[in-house]
Amino acid sequence: MKKTAVLALGGNAIIKAGQKGTISEQFANTQDSLDGIVELIRQGYRLSITHGNGPQVGNLLRQQETGEKEGLASLPLGVLNAATEGTMGYMIEQSLQNKLREQGIDKQVITIVSQVVVDKNDPSLKDPSKFVGSTYYSAEEAQELKESLGWALKEDSGKGWRRVVPSPLPIEIIAASTINELVHKGQIVIAVGGGGIPVYRRENGHLEGLDAVIDKDFASALLALNIQADLFVILTGVDKVALNYGKPDAQDLDTMTVAEAQKYYNEGHFPAGSMGPKIRAAIDFISRGGSEVLITSLPRIVEAFAGKTGTRIVR
């Protein structure tokens, strides 16, 4: 029986640390990241691919603010989410189509720019927490940016201060039924990129945009539930989840129950700026009926699917 999986790519896989994020760099990184995914398609997995957009949407937001100084009309954050869904979806779609063609695999790859409903009164709208942009600042620079530009910034896992924006939880994916139909027909669907475009329902039922960035792991978990995925896969910068990460007594984990994951999260093993949201999304997926989550690195995804690496979270 063919299995269905949702693969959540991090935005940092497309813009790597130390890069400027030129389109050439992003295309090259995208092309380099897809070999393992092509192999899973060859093995018969039905896939939906999601992606983060933290570095990309933060850079676009900064471009808008720079352009305002020259009298150019700027685009709000919600619209910039739509822009990154288009640009990044295009890069992934074209790169994957080309690789599939090279391998003689006849599959369509489709990008769906996805609206995702959130609560307009979500507490995060008043307490920004989502890191965006690819620049880290010193504490002094962060204070200056707060005072001069009104930015919200938070310290990011000891690496420096980084800009943050509101990040409400996803409630409903507007195109979920269409995505489900296409995936189960065997098409590869790129959806809820950057967490999707945050919208809320007005009293008359009409949709209205919000200026925020939904966490891609939470949106991906919701998508995995909506399409009855057998496996929700979170692709990150490490092969396995670890307790005491980065310390001499670090302990890699092969498997966790959802109860163990919650316990380790409560004990502070998974910081908000790195593994924390991924673990919370995994807990959410399984608690709401999902069966299994796999967390691993993109280069080792095929090995992880074969049970040779990665961390699996189960009931």
Task: Extract the tokens encoding 93.
Answer: 């779609």
Candidates 36, 216, 240, 290; catalytic one: 216
C-beta separation of 15 from 23 below 8 A: no
C-beta separation of 105 from 81 below 8 A: no
C-beta separation of 40 from 105 below 8 A: no
Candidates 11, 52, 133, 195; catalytic one: 11
Active site residue 216: yes
Residue reference for tokens 């739509």: 82
Active site residue 21: no
Candidates 53, 59, 278, 290; catalytic one: 278
Candidates 12, 16, 21, 154; catalytic one: 12
- Report helix, strand and coil shares of the chain as percent, to nearest 5: 40, 20, 40
Distance of CA 124 to the CA centre of its chain: 18
Candidates 10, 53, 81, 130; catalytic one: 130
Active site residue 126: no
CA distance to 3, 98, 103, 173, 219, per residue, from 22 (Å): 36, 21, 28, 30, 27
Which residues participate in catalysis according to the annotation?
A: 11-12, 130, 216, 278
